[in-house]
Each structure stands twice: as structure tokens, then as C-alpha cells.
Amino acid sequence: MWVLPLSRILTLKQLITELILHAVQPLVEDTSSLNIVLERPKSADHGDFASNIAMQLAKPLKQNPRVIAQQIIDGLPANQVISKVEIAGAGFINFFVSAHSKQAIVHTILRAGEDFGRNTSGQQQPVQVEFVSANPTGPLHVGHGRGAAVGDCLCRLLAANGWRVTREFYYNDAGAQIDNLTKSVLARAQGILPSDPAFPEDGYRGDYIADIAEAYLAKASVTADDMQVTASGTLEDVDAIRKFAVAYLRHEQDLDLQAFQIKFDVFSLESALYTEGKVEQTVQALIASGHTYEQDNALWLRTTDFGDDKDRVMRKKEGGYTYFVPDVAYHREKWNRGFSRVINEQGADHHSTITRVRAGLQALDVGIPQGWPEYVLHQMVTVMRGGEEVKLSKRAGSYVTLRDLIEEVGCDATRYFLAARSPDSQLVFDIDLARAQTNDNPVYYIQYAHARICSVLHQWGGDIARLQQAELSPLTSAAETALMQMLSQYPELVASACQALAPHMVANYLKELASALHSYYNDTKFLVEDAHVKQARLSLITATRTVLRNGLGLLGVSAPEKM
């Protein structure tokens, strides 16, 4: 009987793929280009997996796909994985997995523990993920929170798939918005209220501006990341006000991130790109590459050469660079730091900048590939309470802050709700639902499934490690089979969610797994007299607990043992 070393394989899908490959080798000269796809049929009557490999080979082999399908079936090595194989339709091959192989997933999970679902496909290659990257002009709002949740989950997914992840936050601490922040703080320090006509027209009006002004006049010190700034208290020193205000708000945003349990490896400053000459160096490199021209006393980049709908101004006729130029300089630095893969998680309002930033990078002629960097853009978040939209924060004045949400519903619910929908869809955050201790609240529903299992295991009081050797043959009911099938899908889910850069796939999977567990729990007794049945069932729910915990970990959500 053909045996595949189990050290190479974690999933039934991979096992069957190897079996198909073995059967196909005599039929084709080179199998390296074959794309063997296995899908899970919607109906159990059509097996556990289905493949269209015979139809793929019909043209090159110049044979009827059903004939090829039969040749593949005849060439399958003897094994304990497949119990039955059928040809369906035009040449689909349906595979039915043996009960023993389905049950084996339980022991696989118990032995792998927290490593179940992880893989090494990234081969420890470096990847940089930039996310949040808020202007230091106020507290983080709920939109930043969505970016933080999605970005952090992306990092966790990439790490689970074997990538070496660097998390980076880019502060836009230069430009017109920082000028407006400085003017706003100065006005409040001078006693000018937002309602006063003398207050800056484009100024920031939240209460936090008054807090900054008060701290500045009190000559306070603030620390943010690698910088510490002590206020001079002098109103004539506008640059000192600017530096203190930025540091103060960077510190505030640090507190927001801590409350959201988000950590970064690197903080980069837009201002440093100017002070270190990186922007000017990038501009000179673009001029030297021959992709720029002068017109109307302005410097233009010929971005139409790289797919843009029109050329873009780099240096305005009145002086100063347009906003996409430092972005090109910043990404040039990412490339120079050795990140051949970069993912930017940003708000949908950044969509218009993608083409011109990529065009600027292509125009450098340094080997940066097309489509670099990758982007994940998230849509707006609408916050609801009592059926009405919540628009304002007492502290921020003009928007709902991330910390407002965390204080309302907790970190777990905030993270789950912000990551649970595809980033490219608009999100309604229902505060009442997020606070509900009912099965209608998906994060509660999933955590409760985990806690229920912990309660059963606590009542049992036995040695969990012994379950790794439990006899699993009693696991034959429809509910048990469905639960085991869901557990077996988890490694595929982790790989697919990473490939698609879609953390919401994990959230959706966990909700379905929790549903399967609750159904099984409600219909089944676990602490029965029959020791073999008891240990088999306890093994299954313990494996389910592991997958629930691992999946919640990918979302940065806790797995409580009691609720």
C-alpha cells in the first residue's frame, strides 16, 4: 500500500492532491505545471472533494475527460484515505474520504495545539505591513480603528503562514493639516474659542485642542515612541507649539493603540523624509531617470507612461512638493530596506493615490515591480446606537473615537466587529449588538462556544494529554462528522485568508464552527458511562476548542474559559 509520510502533510486536501498527482504522472510527461484543484461539493452525496483534473487534461491528451478520469482512478495508489471514488458529469472526479481519515483530524489538532493551521509557505521572507498611519492631528477615530483591526489581523495571518512581518506606522507630521493643528492650539492658548470668528477657519475644534494648549502653557513634557518634548510655554514660538502638539497627539494615539492591543515595530515620520533629504534625493532620482519635465514653472512627472490618466505635478509653481512626492520617497525607503513585499492597509480615500505612487516608483527605474506595493483599502464605518447614527465624540467633537468604542463595548467586540466584514464593504457598527450577551452577537457566540467546552472539560477533570491517544471510532453521528469536516477545513482557511488578504474569512469561519459546536453540545451528552464514547467526544470538543482559540488569536480576540 502506498504511504505518504505524514510529516509532509497536514490536511486531507493535501493528501488527496498527492494521490492524484501520483496517478497522473504516467499520463503526462511533465506534471510541474499542473494545477490540481480540489473543491468541497455543496452536497455530501457528491463526496468530500471533487476535482476537474480530467477535464484539464482532455485537450493536451486528446481524450474524452471521462476516459481520463477513469485512468486516474485506476492509477490511484492503494491507501486508507479514500473509501470511494466516482465520476460525475462531464468528467469530475468525486472523492469520498474514509471515516478513519476524517476522525484522524482530531488527533492531528490535539498534537499540533497552537500550531494547528500554521504553515511555512512564506518561508520567513520579509513583508512590511503599514497600517493606521493617522495624521497626528487628533485621537484615532473609528475609521482608524477599522484599519488597525484589519491591519493587525493581516499581520497575524501572514505570520501564521510563515512570513516575517514588520508592522509600521507612518506619521504624516508635515503639511497643511499640521499647520492647522498648530494654529488651533495657538488660538486656544490665546483664549480664542472655536465659536469665535477669530478661530482658524480650518482649525480643529475638539476639546482635546484645549487640553494640548493647557499642557503647553503649563510647560508639560510628553513622550511618544522615541521622542520626548517639553513645552516652552512661549506663544511666540510657533515651531515649539507645532512640535509639542504633534508629540502630544502621538502620545494620545499611542494610548489608543494600547487600548486596542496593537503594537508596531517601526514608526516613520514624514518630516524625517524632508530633514534627512530623502524627498529631495527621490526628486533628483526621478529627474535623472528622464521621466520628468518642466511646464508652467512647475515640475511634472510623466505618470501617463505608467498607466495614470494624466501627468502629475511634483513641484508646484509657487514652490513646495505635492503630497504624493513624499509618499514616493517613503516607499522608495521601504524598497531600499529590503522589503520586496509591502502591504498598505488604508482608507478608501487613498484609492486615487495608488496609481501615482506606483507610477513614481516605476519611474525610478530601480527594478521595483509593477503592482508594488499591495493595497488593502477599507470603507467607512457607521456607528449606531438605539437605531440612530452616532456622529460625535465629546472629546473629539467631530467624530467617534476608537477609544469611545472600546469603552462602550470592550476591546474584543470592537476588534471582531471591525474585522468581520470584507474591508471593501461599508460597515455598520451596532453598539447595542456588540454589547449584547446573546447568541445574536457573533463574538459572544464564538467565545461562548469556547467557554462551554472549557466547562465540560473542567467537570471531567481528566488529563487532556491522554486524549491524544483516545479511540475515535465512536465519532460516527452526522453532527460529529460535520464538526470534524469543519475542523479539517481550518488549515485551508488560514492559507486562503492570507492569500486573499481577507481576515473576515476567519471571522466567518469561526461563526460557522461555533454554530456546529453549539448544535452538537445541545444534542449530546459528553460525560457518559461508556469510557470509549466519553473520551472520543471529549477529544472532539477539545480539538474544537483548540481551533476556536487559534482562530480567535488570528483576530486578536481572547478565548475566555468562563462567561
pLDDT (tens digit per residue) in 248-288: 999 999 999 999 999 999 999 999 999 999 999 999 999 99
Q: What is residue 6's predicted lDDT score, i.e. its pLDDT?
A: 45
Q: For 78-88, what is the mean pLDDT?
A: 94
d(Cα 26, Cα 28) in Å, to the nearest integer? 6
Residue with cell 493643528: 181
The residue-averaged pLDDT of 18-28 equals 93
DSSP 401: B
Question: What would the pLDDT profile of 228-239 be if each residue is shown by its tens digit?
Answer: 999 999 999 999
Of residues 143 and 395, more confidence is placed in 143
Question: Per-residue b/e over 502-518, b at no fewer than 16 CB within 10 Å?
Answer: bbbbbbbbbbebbbbbb
On whether the CB atoms of residues 99 and 83 are closer than 8 A, the answer is: yes
The three cell numbers locating residue 395: 472629546
CA distances for 457 relative to 23, 242, 476, angstroms: 44, 57, 21
From 544, 257, 263, 548, select the one nearest 414 (Cα to Cα). Answer: 257
What angle do helix axes 490-499 and 504-523 make, rounded to 10 degrees?
160
- Which residues, 6+ apart, have CB-to-CB distance to 127 below 8 Å? 158, 163, 164, 165, 166, 339, 341, 342, 343
d(CA 368, CA 282): 14
Look up residue 212 and give its amino acid. Answer: I
As to burial, measured by CB atoms within 10 angstroms (0-12 exposed, 13-18 middle, 19+ buried), residue 355 is: middle
Q: What is the pLDDT of residues 395-435, one digit of tens each?
A: 667 789 999 999 999 999 999 999 999 999 999 999 999 99
Predicted pLDDT of residue 44? 84
Determine the Cα–Cα distance for residues 87 and 65; give it in Å rounded to an integer: 10
Q: What is the pLDDT of residue 394?
A: 62
CA dihedral 217, 137, 167, 307 (to 10 degrees): -150
DSSP state of 77: P
At 7 the pLDDT is: 43
pLDDT for 126: 98
Please name the residue that has the C-alpha cell 483530524.
Answer: 105
Element (DSSP H or E) covering residue 87: strand 82-88
Written as nine digits, the cell of 450 is 469556547
Give the model confidence (pLDDT) of 471-506 as tens digits: 999 999 999 999 999 999 999 999 999 999 999 999
Instruction: Tell me the domains of the chain and their CATH numbers.
Output: 6-97 (3.30.1360.70), 109-118+439-555 (1.10.730.10), 176-266 (no CATH)
Is 528 a residue whose pLDDT tops 50? yes
Do 108 and 10 touch, CB atoms closer than 8 A? yes
Element (H, E) at 19: helix 12-24
Average pLDDT over residues 88-105: 94
Q: In sequence order, what are the residues at sequence separation of 6 or more whose Cβ sits closer than 8 angstroms to the Cβ of residue 230?
A: 219, 220, 221
pTM here? Answer: 0.92
**181-198 mean pLDDT:** 96
* 312-315/126-130 β-pairing: unpaired
Across the range 294-313, mean pLDDT stands at 94
**Is residue 316 left, alpha or beta, with left meaning phi > 0 and alpha meaning psi from -120 to 50?**
beta
**So what's the pLDDT on residue 3?**
53
* Three-state secondary structure call for residue 78: coil
| 3 state DSSP class of 76 | coil
379-397: pLDDT as tens digits = 999 999 999 999 876 666 7
Q: Report whether pLDDT(4) > 60.
A: no
Q: What percent of the chain has pLDDT over 90?
A: 89
pLDDT at residue 14, rounded to an integer: 87
What's the Cα-to-Cα distance from 21 to each of 32, 55, 285, 352, rounded to whole Å?
10, 15, 50, 45
Query: For residue 395, what pLDDT is reported?
Result: 65
Cα Rg, the chain, nearest whole Å: 29
Q: Which range, 28-42, 151-165, 388-402, has the best average confidence (pLDDT)? A: 151-165
Q: What is the pLDDT of residues 324-343, one digit of tens each?
A: 999 999 999 999 999 999 99
% of residues, the chain, pLDDT over 70: 98
Torsion angle (degrees, nearest 10) of CA 259, 261, 264, 267 = -10
Question: Is 252 within 8 Å of 157 (Cβ atoms)?
Answer: no
- Mean model confidence pLDDT for the chain: 94
Over residues 346-372, mean pLDDT:
93
Spell out the alpha helix ranges (H) of 190-323: 207-217, 238-259, 270-275, 278-289
Query: Cα separation of 459 and 284, whole Å?
Result: 71
